[in-house]
Structure 1
């Protein structure tokens, strides 16, 4: 027990410690020396303990703390620095790695021997820990001296690897760890002393490479090299650089290889972006997307080129359709326009495939595709609007006996594509009106190929444009179902009331006025046979309802009449108007233009059209005097008893009427109502609004169906002011107030 009271003097105790430190250094240097036994360890630990727990003035804690640091300083001066100074490049790196490992080992062992200092003396005085003191010695004396050489040596090895030389990656990994660990929990040493110079060096390296490649290589080859470089740089980070360097390093490489040369690369004459699009180089376009989507705003020029390319291709289709129409290269009533729509659908399929495939459904490319299609889908093509062409194309597909021999699946798929194209058309209301006109013809003349397909496209249009857009179309389809039921009831009525028989087969289609396009009704003087039919049906309809008024649209009626010609009897399928003309010749052999007009009570336009179809067209059922192809008011007509045809049943068509003008007028009228409603709706909620705001909000509300003309909006505002819906502010004429 008495040994506890013996004073251990500083000189004596430190001499003992120096022996232990010397042994540790011999072990670290690889000299033949046995490892520390637990007994040796305890003696060294106890020596420090005793020297620190003695009463003043024999408490040597501060002196030991200082000597702890001196031990490292001395060792570094004598052993470490000389060994590093005599080596260079990779050999110096290996020596540094070895010395750093040894130093950490020395810190670990000495920290154990001096542990009592850490526990009490250091913690009470808030001094740096023994571990920090040991590492700081290495940082101040070794790291600060060699960091420049180390950085240069590492970058040299990295550049060698970039040139294809195999290097010792494990060694570099250990050297990089020194830059990280020497920061003792902070990354400044790694970032300032190594990462920053590496980034500068990498920029220089790739700048030099890019300047050569951009001249020598095609766009696809250049992109392959760029992609390979980026992949290898990421691989470097994974194997020996610190993970925090990945973003900055790849950004530098991207900048030098891609950002700097974006224009030159994309615009390359024989291999740039547009050439890749023209030649369907899907793989190269996918690579272009992969490379540029990681760069901020990197895809903007690619998307812009994509848009311009698609727009140019679309304009070529417009020009081809115009040329074909003007030169009448293809006969067959508008088939060239259908070819145009088909090609636009194919174009959309192709480039939508690019958007979803090559460009990973990126919104930027969806927007580019939309903007490109909006340009040429709103052009006038072969004197028709795209809205009319789309409606006509749908009619061609849905019509019975159409030129398009398509399976149900293909029809459904095609209709879906047509509705997608409609999204690009600004005059959706114009399409709706043309479509409704053609739908009415298909339904009324039993020309629709399938009710299911009719309902399917209406459902798709409803999803695309809303319920208001398709409400009348749905009403038309439902009307036909009700009309068939009504016809069955009429047949029952006739079977119960034989006296009411009209004498001929009669089918009447009763429709709801609001759903159907407006048709010209006329005060046609019907032949007796037809008058009886009308009266019979009116009597029947009174038994069904007393609240509805029937308006007869004879222009939509058809008749099958027997023509008893000398060669043979032929059944003629004609319009109600044509039938009325022909039935006049049952009582007269020869009639003048004026007599026919007077007896039927028709306008000049209608009479000319009817007589033209019966005397000047393919089937000359009437003989015109004089026998030219123009009908005038001085002409005479007689029944052609010698007429014959190889068929026993023929359809006598009427000259087609251009309904385009009427449709456009109807749409214009509807637009005026829509603008009025929009203005009133906006003003009702806002009460007071400036002219500019009112116009902007009105355009915003209506642009889903059509693009309102600013002049028209202004005109409608003036009209609403005169009708006392709005008033101008007395002090500010650009301000409008709502009048409740």
Structure 2
């Protein structure tokens, strides 16, 4: 039957007329609740058993639950729900306990049902959750039901819960041992353990106990046959594996504890084993991947200091091996290669960590202090080799510049920069005078780098050397103008040029002068006359050791031009007098040091028969006073311009020692001056403070015994005195 209501009609009510209506609405009673509960109970059973329920029923039961709550039957509903699920869970768990075969699958199946029910019921019981559960401080409907399940496990079926936990622990063991397992089942059951509160109360302690034992056993297994590469890969695998377990199955709150446990047993407790069994090999073989693994592990356990200590020790050991190599010529290049490898490791593996950069720098300073003066000299020699023209293997300008830049990075760490300066200036002078410099521009760039590192004072002499060479170009033009003004035309083709250098800046020795033939003697005399007119009171010393010339020779009616050193040229010109000369005759004509004469003679005859310029009697390997030399008439060459091997005087150990001793002597004077300067400023100063001031002022490799020696000398010369009551206190003497 359908009831139709009429449309609302308008009624006019006088303003002065009023009335009250009291309507009695009958409140639902106990029968109302019981009737509804029977319906709810049947609905709960149907939901659990996955029976088909019309979706419109959900709205019906939602309204019913809301009505029950509105009519203050929510407490009664709470008791009924609690009683229903207690009985329901008891029956389910009891059936599983009585028939334990395949219990884990049964538990999973029931949990899936419970979970599905909670998804639906949590929406239907929303008002019940807000009106009543909130008052009882139960967070949600889910928590209310799961609390009932948890109580059943803990009060009635504790042994079943223990069996579930044991099964889960076995599964985790299988995962760690890489055995097959049921991922979905583990996910479901771990979800149940977490939601019913058994994770924190029961599972976690057993899980950590098992994990602790597992990783202790793994640690001992690797110690028995330790391979660092395998071990680092094992650590990485285990951390990734456990991180996966945390994300997939475990409570996130326990993740850090688990990772810390692994890092403790596999890394922190094995630090000595790790660094004493393979760390050096990783560095020597540039195993970047495993070094990166090691770095991340050490950073994660906050043990970078331990890595820093072993990193520093490795650099010291390896560096000491290099600087103590027998072949000193290779030391600088090996050091540069070593430094380059260390920089790559810091960048690729250690993420440019400042702590490890500093450790590297301190270690390198120690290495370079082992043979402080020798390494400074060898570094200068290495740069000299790179900047020379005959550096055939490095003719690419960019590559040469890069190699020099690398060497200058080594220079930054050198304590004995004064030793480097002395040798660098000496070799710079030879490069420029002998026309061996690869590039004037590159020489200037090197000086700019040295200046930026050590200041203007450091490169003052080198700057003057370059300035002298540059100004000599104009000087030669002025000399040609002078010859023209004197009516002399024998340099029209500019066959003569001269470099004038300042003796204060150029580290060259005065050598014994040979007897010059024409036209050399004529040019030398005219230039001296020209220069003394231009610069009155100046004394010129000639450095023929570094002079070169072109000599034209006629062999079998063929004309050749030979590019030779001046001494070689003088020897060849001797044979214009006659075709055959004895050693004594040549020596009388040239009049230079016998050792130098013999070296130059060897350079002219010690070649193939068709390539040597002179023939010699007697034994080929040495020059005797009885030997006779003659022009090699069999000489022939396809080239018309031939560069003859030059015999530049090579640096000997005595030369190196002499230069080093000179710098060390000068260093003593510098040390004296610094001590006096500091005392003059401070007036009174303690010994330890003076040492600190000296290191800051000089930045040189000075030691305490040397300082003590200089102090005693200054006291004797009355520049300073000791305090009569405190010998570590010094006073300035005005």
How high is the TM-score relative to the length of structure 2? Answer: 0.70
TM superposition shift of 1:217: 6.6
Change (3 A) 1:729 1:617: same
- Residues 170 and 240, structure 1, Cα contact 8 Å, conserved in 2: no
Per mean C-alpha deviation after superposition, the further-off stretch among 445-454 and 13-22 is 13-22
Deviations 1:294-316 (A, max 9, x none): 44326845972785388348626
Q: Tell whether the 8 Å contact from 1:48 to 1:114 is kept in structure 2 after alignment.
A: no
Alpha carbons 2:40, 2:61 under 8 Å: kept: no
Worse-superposed segment, 643-652 or 414-423:
643-652
Q: 1:50 aligns with which of 71, 75, 78?
A: 71
- Structure 1 residue aligned with 2:610: none
Greater alpha carbon shift after TM alignment, 447-456 vs 16-25: 16-25
CA separation in 2, counterparts of 1:700 and 1:486? 43
Q: Is the 8 A contact 2:674 2:697 kept in 1?
A: yes
CA distance in structure 1 between the aligned counterparts of 2:174 and 2:550, rounded to whole angstroms: 98
3-state SS of paired residue (1:308): helix
- Secondary structure in 2 aligned to 1:6? coil
Contact 2:432–2:469 (8 Å) recurs in 1 = yes
Q: Secondary structure of 1:385's partner?
A: helix
Q: Partners in 1 of 2:78 and 2:211 — Cα distance?
A: 39
Contact conserved, 1:561 with 1:573, CA < 8 A, in 2? yes
Cα 1:369–1:522 shift into 2, 3 Å: same
1:634 is aligned to none
Query: Is residue 6 from structure 1 mapped to residue 21 from structure 2 by the alignment?
Result: no
Out of 533, 546, 550, the position equivalent to 1:539 is: 533
Following superposition, the deviation at residue 227 of structure 1 comes to 2.7
| 1:32-76 C-alpha deviation (Å, 9 max, x unpaired) | 585645455434423432348xxxxxxxxxxx44x4543343234
> Following superposition of structure 1 onto structure 2, how do residues 275-674 of structure 1 map, counting pairs within 5 Å?
275-277=281-283, 284-285=290-291, 287-289=293-295, 291-297=297-303, 300=306, 304=310, 307-308=313-314, 311-312=317-318, 315=321, 318-321=324-327, 337-350=328-341, 352-357=343-348, 361=352, 366=357, 370=361, 374=365, 377-380=368-371, 385-402=374-391, 406-462=395-451, 465=454, 468-498=457-487, 507-512=497-502, 515-517=505-507, 533-541=527-535, 550-554=538-542, 573-574=565-566, 610=593, 613-614=596-597, 618=601, 644=630, 646=632, 658-672=654-668, 674=670
Secondary structure of 2:71 counterpart: helix
Matches of 2:121 and 2:190, distance apart in 1 = 21
SS of alignment partner, residue 702 of structure 2: coil
- How many Å separate the matches in 2 of 1:114 and 1:613? 110
CA distance in 2, matches of 1:714, 1:344: 33
Query: Deviation of residue 552 (structure 1)?
Result: 3.3
Give the whole-Å Cα distance in 2 for the aligned partners of 1:686 and 1:127: 77
Deviation by residue 1:652-705 (Cα, 9 ceiling, x = unmatched):
8779673334422442244345545655776688776532233134324544xx
The separation in 2 between residues aligned to 1:561 and 1:168, in whole angstroms, is: 92
Q: Offset at 1:419?
A: 2.2
> Is 1:307–1:371's contact at 8 Å kept on the other side of the alignment?
no
Q: Deviations over 1:64-98 (max 9, x none)?
A: 44x45433432343112442352644543553454
Query: Residue 156 and residue 394 in structure 1: after superposition, are their counterparts in 2 closer, same or farther (change >3 A)?
Result: same
CA displacement 1:514-538 (0-9 Å, x = unmatched):
6444756999999997666434311
1:615 Cα shift?
7.8
Q: 1:140 to 1:575 in 2, by over 3 A?
A: same
- TM-superposition CA deviations, 1:170-228 (whole Å, max 9, x none): 44444444566567xxxxx8566555543332222222233234435744334433332
Asked if the contact 2:82–2:145 (Cα under 8 Å) also holds between the matched residues in 1, the reply is no
1:163 aligns with 2:177: yes
**Which of 702, 705, 715 is the matching residue for 1:711?**
705
**Distance in 1, Cα, partners of 2:722 & 2:345:** 53
Structure 2 unpaired stretches of 5+:
1-20, 557-561, 575-587, 605-624, 636-641
Give the alignment's TM-score, normalised by structure 1.
0.70
Q: Does 1:696 align with 2:692?
A: yes
* 3-state SS, counterpart of residue 260 of structure 1: helix
Gaps spanning 5+ residues in structure 1: where? 53-63, 184-188, 322-336, 543-548, 583-595, 597-606, 622-637
Q: Go from structure 1 to structure 2 and tell me whether the alpha carbon gap of 1:654 and 1:103 turns closer, same or farther (over 3 Å shift).
A: closer
SS class of match (1:659): helix
Give CA-to-partner distance per residue, 1:253-291, whole Å, 9 cap, x none: 2333344344445545xxx34445555655555555555
Check conservation: 2:423, 2:659, Cα contact below 8 A. yes
Distance 2:113 2:185 in 1: 10
Equivalent residue, structure 2, for 1:592? none
Specify whether residues 662 and 204 from structure 1 end up closer, same or farther in structure 2 by C-alpha distance, changes over 3 A only: same
* Cα distance change, pair 26–278 in 1 and its aligned pair in 2 (3 A): same
C-alpha contact (below 8 Å) 1:8/1:51 kept by paired residues = no
Structure 1 distance, partners of 2:488, 2:61, is 135
Which residue does 2:110 correspond to in 1? 95
| 1:224 maps to which of 215, 228, 233 | 233
- The CA deviation at 1:438 is 0.9
CA contact (8 A) 2:62 2:124 kept: no
**Does the 8 A contact of 1:274 with 1:309 survive in 2?**
no
Residue of structure 1 aligned with 2:249, choices 224, 237, 240 = 240
* Partner residue, 2:578: none
Distance change >3 Å, CA 34–CA 415, structure 1 → 2:
closer
- Between the aligned partners of 2:44 and 2:646, the Cα distance in structure 1 is 116
**Deviates further, 654-663 or 687-696:** 654-663
How many angstroms does 1:157 deviate by?
1.9
- d(CA) in 2 for partners of 1:5 and 1:686? 105
**Cα RMSD (Å) of the superposition?**
5.3
Deviation at 1:8, TM superposition (A): 4.6
Whether contact under 8 Å (1:562, 1:572) holds in the other structure is yes
- Classify 1:22/1:711 alpha carbon distance in 2 versus 1 (closer, same or farther; 3 Å): same
